[in-house]
Amino acid sequence: MNAREAAYNALLRHENNSSYSNIELDATIKKYGLEGVERSFCTALFYGVIERAITLDYYISLLSDRKDIDTNVRVILRMGLYQIIYMDKVPDSAAVNESVSLARRFWARKNSEGFINAILRSYLREKDKLSLPDKKKDPIKHISVKYSMPEWLCAMFCENYGADTAEKIFDEFNKVPALTLRVNTLKTTRESLMERLSAAGIKATPTKNAPNGLLLAGGTPYSALEAFEGEFFVQNEASQICVEVLGAKEGETILDACACPGGKSFGISINMKNEGAVHSCDLHKNKLSLIERGANSLGISIIETMERNAAKEDVRGVKYDRILCDVPCSGLGVIAQKPDIKRKNPSDIERLPTVQAAILCESAKHLKSGGVLVYSTCTLNPRENADVVDAFLAENKDFSLVPFEVGGVRSDGKAELFPHIHKTNGFFIAKMKKA
């Protein structure tokens, strides 16, 4: 089983079963034992086709009058076009021939090979004549096809941020995100880890705004970091900034209301120098083991995990110095890492502000007087962000916004982080204090 065949099988299952892309790819790599170049090529092709599916389907529609293209054939066409358009190191002839071979091996329906060959060769002949939808006549469709984003998402971002900003954000979403680490300062320093990574041939640079983050050179595989296990964990700079805004101190008692997979709890504990108490809660008991294993690897002993619905009443009666509400959200700021988000049903997003507000209001009840409450999401959607916080403040007069500054991120109490400006995930942070 070569890389293209493995990618085809994974893409077909992903398309038919709506499975999570990362789980599907991991299972495929393990099943077929892909390593080295084959593994890298399969990964790039698999994720690339998913990320650019809207654009690829648009070109297929221009090149074929068929409305009922079988899923198997469509997947092969997407793969072929993706190699031609986006993979410079793959010769056009190889992209066409290998696509026809896939059809011959996996899809023997009459004429499928000829159809795939014809479509791909038509693209090669006519690519200079093919154009995107007219931007003036239909700006939403133009942006959708250009950046391979669903039209509902393009309309939302254009309404909230304007078309120019929306395009800049989408352009960043289509870039391969670099791996970002949060240094475990219980065991080492950023400078020391950076030097030792360099000695191992891994280039790392300090994050711009987070004081203990490292940005790895593009393409660095996680497997290359095994020798440094326990001295870091993977965390985007936006999440690191969020932890710094919370400002946890040694000896305090902290609530991480929606903690899994645990990165922010780890960062909080490290900032507390492993002195005090961090209660890391999650709705799903089976996920808590992720936090426990991670804490053990990092040498953190102050985290206590708890199964809890953060939107429901907590009868334990514990009062906290600081509370982090990193609430469940639409995830529209992390599309670069999770392209599956583009397949969301927009109606599912509409119910989220109600849940988010319930979590924020319930958590606030357990904050000490003078305590700090941070609300955050990894989405870019005012309805889930500023609107939730503004409504909360209107109903809770004993809370007020607190200005904050972390690196170059300055705010009067509410901040949106944008991929094209801050070079982080799209993120929202609000810091409040109880009188």
Among this protein's residues, is 378 annotated catalytic? yes
Which member of 42, 260, 325, 378 is catalytic? 378
Structure tokens at 184: 């475990």
Say which DSSP state 178 is in.
P
Residue numbers of the chain with a pLDDT score lower than 50: none
- Which stretches does DSSP call E strand in 225-353? 232-234, 253-256, 277-282, 303-307, 320-326
pTM: 0.93
According to DSSP, residue 91 is labeled -
Q: Where are the alpha helices (DSSP H) in 127-260?
A: 139-147, 151-161, 163-173, 190-199, 237-246
Cα–Cα distance measured from residue 336 to residue 339, given in angstroms and rounded to the nearest whole number: 6
Task: Report the pLDDT value the prediction gives residue 313, as an integer from 0 to 100.
Answer: 87
Q: How many residues does the chain have?
A: 435
Q: Which long-range contacts (CB under 8 A, 24 or more apart) does 136-139 make?
A: 139/163
160: which 2 tokens? Answer: 């909230």
Q: Residue 108: what pLDDT?
A: 55
Task: Compute the distance between CA of residue 267 and CA of residue 236 in angstroms, rounded to an integer.
Answer: 12
Would you tell me the crossing angle of helices 92-106 and 3-17 to the nearest 10 degrees?
60
Q: Catalogue the E-assigned strands of 337-394.
A: 367-377
Handedness of CA 291, 297, 298, 300 (dihedral sign): positive
Q: CA nearest 422: which of 433, 411, 435, 434? A: 411
User: What pLDDT does residue 12 have?
Assistant: 94
